[in-house]
Amino acid sequence: LDQKIVDRFIRSYPGSLGMPDNLNRTPIQYAVLKAEYFRDKDIEGKWCSPTSKIQEKWQKQQMESWQVVDFLLETMITRNKPLCSIHERNVLLESFEFYAPPSVVNKLLTTGGRFLLKDIDMAKSVLALTFASQYPVSIMKRVIRVTSKAIPSSFMLHTLRQELINHFTSGVVSDSHETSGCTSSLAFVKDLLQCYRIKRQGGEAAVTTACLEWWEKLRFLIAYSSCRFDDDTEDIILHAALTNPQSPPALIEFLCRLLPSTKYEIDANTGALPLHVACVYWDPVSGGDQNETEYVRILNILTAGDFTLVQSRYKERLAVHHAILSGKPLPFIRPLLALDNKTAIAPDPVTNLFPFQLAACPRKTRRSEAEQDRVPSSTCEQFDTEQLNLIFELLRVNPYPISILTVCHYAEMSPLTRHTLLWCYDWGFSGWKLNNKRKDMIRLAIEKGKIPEPMKSWWTKLKTLIWRAYNELDAGGQKGMRETPQTHEYLLHAA
C-alpha cells in the first residue's frame, strides 16, 4: 500500500497501529515479514559503504522494501507508542536478522530498546548481528550503549576485542569485487598507508568512502576495546591499541607506520609514551617461536632505535621496570636492554631494587586462586624457568650490581661459600670473573658422574667445609640433626 493510504488508516483508526489480528500479528509484524519476502537472499547483506554495484543495488532495494516499516515506526515514535511487549517483542530481533536498514534499526531501538535490558540472550544476539551486518558506527555505538546494561562487562569487552581483530583483518586481506567488468581491490590498510604517506610529503591524496568508514570503525573499536570510550583521536590511538592486551602485532605495526609521530606522543591523561603502555598492558596471545619474533619486531618499531625512549620515565619508572613488574617474558625485555644496557642496573625508584631483583619478586598473574590450583605442574616449572632465565639475562647484560655486592661482602662470606664460588670464578680487584675452563669441568663431572683428577682436592675440601658448617648448625641446637650419619650418602642433606 502507498504510505498515504496507510497514514489515513492510522488517522482513522489510531488503535489499529498496535492491534493484533486473529493470528496475533500486528501491522508492523506483517510489514517486517513483507520486507523480508522481497529481500535478495543470494547476496550477503552488509550495511557498510558499498564497494560494488551489486552491493549498492542490494542496499537500495532493502531501503525500498522497508519503507512501510520505517513509516510505521516513525508514526509510533510521533504518537509516543512503543512496541507491544506481548505481540511485538520479537520484531526487534527479527529486523536485525532480516538486515533492516540503519534508519529502521535506529527507530526500533527507540521503540523497543527496553526489551534488550531484560533479555540477555536477545541482547547478545542483537550485538552479534550488528557487527555481522556491518552497520555504521552510529548504530554500533547505540547498540553497545543499550546492550551493555544487560550484558556482563567481561563478555562485552571480549566481544569487542574479537570484533576488533576481525575488522582489522578484513582491511588487510585483499578482497576483489567485480564492478562493471573491472576489479577493485579492498586492501584498506595499503590504501590508507599510501594516502597518509603522500600527505606527509605535502601532496594531495584521497581514499574511497568505504576506506574512510573502515578507518572510522577501526578507531571506534580500538577505543571501546581498551575502555577509552569516545576517545578515538589519532593522537592517542596507538596508546589505546596498546592498552588492549589482545591487539594483534600487525595492528600495532600498522598504526606506527600510519601515524609515526604518535610513538613520541605523551598521553595528556596519564603521561605515558606508547612504549610505557606496551610494557604495562600489551601482551598478544601467540604460540611457538612467533612470540619472540613479534615482540622484537614491534618493540623495534616502537623505539625506532631511539635509546632515549627506553630512558624516559612513566610514574618515575623506566620501561624495563614496568615490563618486569607486569610479568613480560624475556623476548619482550631483551630489545629494551639491547638499546641501553645501563637500564639493567638502574634501581627501581619505588622499591630501590635492581631490575634482576625485581625479576626475582613474585610475578603478577591474571589467574584467580581457583584457576591457579588447576594449572599443571609442568606449566609452573616452565614459568619458574622463564623467570630464572630473565634474572640471568639481566645479570649477563650488565653484571655491575652483583659485582658491587660481592666486593662489599667478599670478606663476610663463609668459607664454604667462598670455596664454592672460587672454583668457577676468579676473584680480583674488579670483582668476580667466570673461569670457563673450570666451569666446563664441573659440567663434565655432572654428566659422567665422576670427579676429574684436577677437581679432587677442591672436592675433598668442599665436603670438609660442608660437614664443618653442618656441625656448627648442630651445635647451635638445630632439631633432628644429631641423628644424621656423617657419610657421603647424607652429604646432600647436610649441604
- Residues 416-445: pLDDT tens digits? 888 888 888 887 766 678 888 888 898 889
User: What's the rounded Cα separation, in Å, for the pair 403 and 394?
Assistant: 13
431 by DSSP, 3-state: which?
Answer: strand
Q: Which of 14-23, 65-74, 333-342 has the lowest mean pLDDT?
A: 14-23
What pLDDT band is residue 132 in, cutting at 50, 70 and 90? very high
pLDDT at 479: 52
Mean pLDDT, rounded, for 404-409: 57
Whole-prediction pTM = 0.74
What pLDDT band is residue 451 in, cutting at 50, 70 and 90? very high
pLDDT over 70, % of the chain: 83
> Residue holding cell 552488509?
46
Mean pLDDT, rounded, for 236-245: 91
pLDDT at 434: 83
**Residue 314, beta-bridge partner list:** 317
pLDDT over 90, % of the chain: 32
User: What's the rounded Cα separation, in Å, for the pair 344 and 356?
Assistant: 8
- Asked if residue 287 has pLDDT above 50, the reply is no
Average pLDDT, the chain: 83
Hey, what amino acid is at 492? L
pLDDT at 398: 79
Please answer whether residues 194 and 205 qualify as being in contact, where contact means their C-beta atoms are separated by less than 8 angstroms: yes
For residue 449, give Cα distances in angstroms to 362, 443, 446, 452, 495. Answer: 35, 10, 5, 10, 18
List pLDDT tens digits, range 89-125. 788 899 999 999 999 999 999 988 888 888 899 999 9
Ranges of beta strands (E only) in 429-469 are 431-434
> Residue holding cell 582491511?
171
Hey, what amino acid is at 317? R
pLDDT at 76: 87
Give the closest residue to 321 by CA, choosing from 303, 294, 346, 284: 346
Grid cell in block for residue 340: 641501553
